């Protein structure tokens, strides 16, 4: 798992799991991970490709091809 996560995130996770850490420090690490999670979610939503326009264009192309085919068949 550490190979896929950044060093900072891995250290925060290790801090939370460390039984020798003070509860205050664990809570700080937990809060930081939550903040990072929100930031990542926001980034993903912002940069998610909206494919509705692409689907609409594809449907238009299909309809145009069908119209051309209908004209040739007549």
Mean pLDDT calculated for residue range 46-74 = 71
**Closest of 17, 14, 13, 19 to residue 36, by C-alpha:** 13
Q: What tokens does 33 get?
A: 């991970």
Is residue 44 within 8 Å of 20, Cβ to Cβ? no
Is residue 26 within 8 Å of 15, Cβ to Cβ? yes
Q: Is the pLDDT of residue 13 over 90?
A: yes
Q: Is the pLDDT of residue 11 over 90?
A: yes
CB atoms within 10 A of CB 12: 20
Q: Is the pLDDT of residue 74 over 60?
A: no
Confidence of residue 66 (pLDDT cuts 50, 70, 90): confident
Q: What is the pTM of this model?
A: 0.60
Mean pLDDT calculated for residue range 51-68 = 72
């Amino acid at each position: 798992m550490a190979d896929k996560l950044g060093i900072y995130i891995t250290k925060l996770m290790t801090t939370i799991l460390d039984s020798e850490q003070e509860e205050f420090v664990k809570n700080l690490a937990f809060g930081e991970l939550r903040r990072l999670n929100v930031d990542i979610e926001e980034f993903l939503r912002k940069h998610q490709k909206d494919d509705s326009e692409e689907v609409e264009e594809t449907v238009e192309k299909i309809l145009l091809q069908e119209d051309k085919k209908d004209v040739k068949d007549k």
